[in-house]
């Protein structure tokens, strides 16, 4: 939205862009001269670098080649300005909002359409109704279509999502929804069937490097290692202002650490630059005669520590990781099991959630092949409960490896499933408990035949012949039941 003029509505939840100029962004300025400190400060302008760098055209939208590469359906639709309603599904910072803005800019420059953006985190149903009313008026009076962008659409409840339905269907609005959550669970089926789902991925390290280098250049910072530059032979221009350089290695490190999230990567870059600039301003950096501020790998690492482990505890990643852990243990792959455990714990997962799943696994997948597994898992749960994170991480790791190495048996899991199926599919009233198996604590019960004929096993030295199932289930074997039915 670099060049679009943004005007906020009174409640400030809705953003309408009235004009846009999709020309090249400031990323293409002359790279020859490093930016001087004062100018650099001004350039940031208290704005997140990620916002400043948001591209307006596909030319500067990097990565996502699977959906936007040459000859892809989406690319030709964007280029021909023939946009259907879309759901953009992808992890944070992969470019959903940016793509929606590019589509809008493209459509506006060619066809008579307007773009309205709402965020489902703050907009109410009445905001949505208001937008729809305006869209109807625009279409009726000016023959102008509305592209409605809803960020985090999964946060709208079913009723709110239903509000769009008829208007998407009749073409009053073209809906572009963005979501980090699997739309099959979070977006209602009727709306889903009216939208094309575009799956965006985490940005590759290469795409991230390109995005970061473009940002570095736009700030007038030079990349050491990229050109002929070496610190000793840096431009010793007459200016007394320090000049800023960044090691190419440092840029690559950000690209690796940001986990495919461009916002995270650009924030990391901004933090490193600002920290070094401030240190120079406050005199904490000793500048040599060439007046050079150099940003090295260690400086960017500091700002990005661990923040790259992205893990949405409430979202799909939580289920994906626990499923991967379960399957790795089932497949007896102890390394994969440890890896998925690490992904969850380092991402901030509740250790007791993991521990509960290990208890379940010990019974479901190990079962009678090693009944000690259940004891191990329950102990791991209790120990984690006593001592919490981070100490309990090793306890959980021990249990995960025990379970991965243990022999496996699903006999009990299946047999119990068969019992439930037997009860569920039973026709007619469930059979009574046989009289001889019932207790007879009163005379009346004894008179009615309760406990009559029951053989108390310890009183017999030889195996006892006795039925324990109702007559009609006599001989049933739940361990082979499914095969017989």
Ligand X SMILES: Nc1ncnc2c1ncn2[C@@H]1O[C@H](COP(=O)(O)OP(=O)(O)OP(=O)(O)O)[C@@H](O)[C@H]1O
| Chain positions contacting ligand X, by CB under 6 A | 50-51, 53-55, 61-64, 90, 92-98, 151, 178, 180, 203, 211, 262-263, 266
The answer to whether 242 touches 287, Cβ cutoff 8 Å, is yes
Minimum distance from CB of 268 to ligand X (Å)? Answer: 12
Cβ-closest residue to ligand X?
95
Q: CB of residue 477 vs ligand X: minimum separation in angstroms?
A: 53
Residue among 62 and 478 whose Cβ is closer to ligand X? 62
**Nearest-angstrom CA–CA distance, 33 and 154:** 46
What three-state secondary structure class fits 151?
strand
Strand order in the sheet with 113-119: 6-8, 14-17, 113-119, 145-151, 173-179, 86-89, 196-199
Instruction: Work out how close the CB of 25 gets to ligand X at its nearest, in angstroms, rounded to a whole number.
Output: 9
Whole-number minimum distance, CB 150 to ligand X, in Å? 12
Burial class (CB in 10 A: 0-12, 13-18, 19+), 80: exposed
Burial class of residue 99, CB neighbours in 10 A (0-12, 13-18, 19+): buried
- For ligand X, give the closer residue by CB, 246 or 262: 262
Residue 200: CB minimum distance to ligand X, A? 7
Report yes or no: 130 and 99 within 8 Å, Cβ to Cβ: no
Query: Toward ligand X, which CB reaches closer, 62 or 361?
Result: 62
Dihedral sign, Cα of residue 125, residue 128, residue 134, residue 137: negative
Of 199 and 231, which has the nearer Cβ to ligand X? 199
Q: Which is nearer to ligand X, 154 or 408 (CB)?
A: 154
Q: What is the dihedral of CA 378, 379, 381, 382, to 10 degrees?
A: 120
Would you say 97 or 376 has its CB closer to ligand X?
97
Secondary structure percentages of the chain, helix, strand, coil, to 5? 50, 10, 40
- Give the residue from 297, 293, 289 showing the smallest Cα distance to 250: 297
Q: How far apart (Å, rounded) are the C-alpha atoms in residues 154 and 188?
A: 9
- Smallest distance from the beta carbon of 49 to ligand X, in angstroms? 8
* Closer residue to ligand X in complex, CB, 115/340: 115
HSE-up of residue 414 (Cα within 13 Å, Cβ side): 14
Q: How far is the CB of 382 from ligand X (least distance, A)?
A: 38
Nearer to ligand X, 303 or 367 (CB): 303
Cβ(87)–Cβ(149) below 8 Å? no
Q: Least Å distance between CB 266 and ligand X?
A: 6
Evaluate whether 381 touches 352 at the Cβ level (below 8 Å): yes
Q: Judged by CB, which is closer to ligand X: 3, or 438?
A: 3
Asked whether the beta carbons of 426 and 473 are under 8 A apart, the reply is: no
CA–CA separation, 475 and 27 (whole Å) = 78
Give the nearest distance from C-beta 51 to ligand X in angstroms. 6
Report the phi/psi class of residue 216: left, alpha or beta, with left for phi > 0 and alpha for psi in -120 to 50.
alpha
Q: Considering beta carbons, is residue 93 or 242 the nearer one to ligand X?
A: 93
445-462 burial, b if ≥16 CB within 10 A, otherwise e?
eeeeebbeeeeeeeeeee
Q: Between residues 263 and 343, which has the closer beta carbon with respect to ligand X?
A: 263
Distance CA 13, CA 123 (A): 6
Minimum distance of ligand X from residue 148's CB (angstroms): 16
Least separation in angstroms between residue 249's CB and ligand X is 22
Whether residue 210 has a cis bond before it, omega within 30° of 0 = no
CA separation for the pair 230, 223 (Å, rounded)? 10
Taking the least distance from each CB to ligand X, the nearer of 198 and 280 is: 198
Burial of 356 (0-12, 13-18, 19+ CB in 10 A): middle
CB 42, min distance to ligand X, A: 19
Cβ proximity to ligand X: between 221 and 362 the closer is 221
CB of 44 to ligand X, least distance (A): 14
């Amino acid at each position: 939205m670099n060049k679009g003029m943004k005007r906020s509505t009174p409640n400030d939840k809705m953003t309408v862009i009235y004009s846009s100029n999709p020309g090249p962004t400031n990323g293409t300025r002359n790279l020859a001269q490093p930016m001087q400190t004062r100018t650099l400060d001004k350039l940031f302008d208290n704005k997140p670098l990620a916002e400043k760098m948001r591209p307006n055209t596909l030319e500067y939208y990097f990565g996502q080649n699977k959906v936007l590469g040459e000859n892809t359906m989406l690319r030709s639709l964007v280029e021909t300005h023939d946009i259907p309603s879309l759901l953009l599904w992808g992890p944070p910072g992969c470019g959903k909002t940016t793509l929606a803005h590019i589509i809008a800019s493209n459509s506006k420059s060619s066809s008579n359409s307007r773009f309205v953006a709402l965020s489902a985190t703050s907009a109410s149903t009445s905001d949505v109704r208001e937008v729809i009313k305006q869209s109807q008026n625009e279409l009726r009076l000016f023959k102008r279509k509305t592209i409605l962008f809803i960020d985090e659409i999964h946060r709208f409840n079913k009723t709110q999502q239903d509000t769009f339905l008829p208007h998407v269907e009749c073409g009053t609005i073209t809906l572009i929804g963005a979501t980090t959550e699997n739309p099959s669970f979070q977006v209602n089926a009727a709306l889903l069937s009216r939208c094309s789902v575009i799956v965006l991925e985490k940005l590759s390290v290469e795409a991230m490097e390109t995005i970061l280098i473009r940002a570095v250049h736009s700030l007038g910072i030079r990349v050491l290692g990229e050109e002929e530059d070496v610190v000793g032979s840096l431009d010793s221009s007459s200016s007394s202002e320090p000049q800023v350089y960044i090691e190419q290695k440092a840029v690559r490190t950000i690209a690796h650490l940001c986990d495919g999230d461009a916002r995270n990567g650009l924030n990391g870059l901004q933090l490193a630059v600002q920290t070094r600039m401030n240190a120079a301003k406050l005199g904490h950096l000793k500048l040599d005669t060439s007046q050079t501020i150099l940003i090295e790998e260690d400086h960017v690492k500091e700002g990005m520590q661990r923040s790259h482990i992205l893990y949405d505890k409430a979202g799909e990643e939580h289920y994906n990781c626990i499923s991967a852990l379960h399957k790795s243990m089932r497949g007896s792959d102890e390394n994969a099991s440890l890896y998925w455990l690490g992904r969850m714990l380092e991402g901030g997962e509740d250790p007791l959630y993991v521990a509960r799943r290990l208890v379940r696994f010990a019974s479901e997948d190990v079962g009678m092949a090693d009944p000690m597994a259940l004891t191990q898992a329950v102990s791991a749960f209790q120990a984690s409960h006593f001592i919490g994170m981070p100490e309990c991480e090793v306890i959980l790791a021990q249990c995960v490896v025990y379970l991965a190495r243990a022999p496996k048996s699903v006999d009990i899991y299946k047999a119990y499933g068969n019992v439930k199926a037997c009860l569920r599919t039973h026709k007619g009233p469930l059979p009574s408990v046989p009289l001889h198996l019932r207790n007879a604590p009163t005379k009346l019960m004894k008179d009615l035949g309760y406990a009559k004929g029951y053989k108390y096993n310890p009183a017999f030295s030889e195996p006892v012949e006795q039925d324990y199932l109702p007559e009609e289930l006599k001989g049933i074997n739940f361990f082979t039941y499914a095969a017989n039915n």
